[in-house]
Amino acid sequence: MTEPSGSLSGATTGPADALEPWPDTVQWQPVSRSLITVELISRAIWVVVILGGLGAGWAFHRHWAWPAAMAAVAVLAIWRSIVTVRAVKAWGYAERDNDLLVRHGLVVRRLSIVPYARMQFVDVTAGPLERAFHLATVQLHTAAAASDAKIPGLPPEEAARLRDRLTALGQDRAEGL
């Protein structure tokens, strides 16, 4: 049985494992899979620009290094595209009673825990490509820049709901300090 979102579900009997940053005691909310498409299109645009520049260099100076660089860019782009699919699936967030958890990363897993009382402001942004796919990014700002967290790939309605909820909780918790 899963606990409702926002609860401190499942009190553990011992300390949490510091090497396992995805606690099973919370209900993780995934980001939209449309973020994969946005990331892949963004990467494709950059690859086309870089390959165009390398192709122009090759057109002016026929040297073996130009096509080698083009091949390296193509291989790197394919590898990063495969990693992007898995990386987007690793993003998630969980709302708890006193803090927000944000997770991401494949090789280096990162778990950010942002107490509501420490939040100074919340940004919601959406670039042109994100807007085309009905996505937004929620950025949390705290006094310490190192503890800022962002949640990309949210539907605009969820981003607005999260922004409003986090702002209200931040104000309530900050008044208690």
- Report DSSP letters for 27-54, one per residue: -PEEPPTHHHHHHHHHHHHHHHHHHHHH
Given this model, what pLDDT does residue 117 score? Answer: 82
Q: Give tens-digit pLDDT for 103-157.
A: 888 888 888 888 888 888 888 999 999 999 999 999 988 877 666 689 999 999 9
In this prediction, what percent of the chain has a pLDDT beyond 90?
A: 50
Contacts of 168 (CB under 8 A, 6+ apart): none
Residue with tokens 């449309």: 34
Tell whether the model's pLDDT for residue 7 goes beyond 80. Answer: no
> Where does residue 90 fall: left (phi above 0), alpha (psi -120 to 50 degrees), or beta otherwise?
alpha
Given this model, what pLDDT does residue 146 score? Answer: 66
Bridge-partner residues for 103, per DSSP? 92, 111
Helix orientation angle between 65-90 and 34-60, rounded to the nearest 10 degrees: 170
The amino acid that residue 110 corresponds to is R
Strand order in the sheet with 149-154: 119-125, 136-142, 149-154
CA dist., res. 174 & res. 108, Å (int): 32
CA dist., res. 119 & res. 143, Å (int): 7
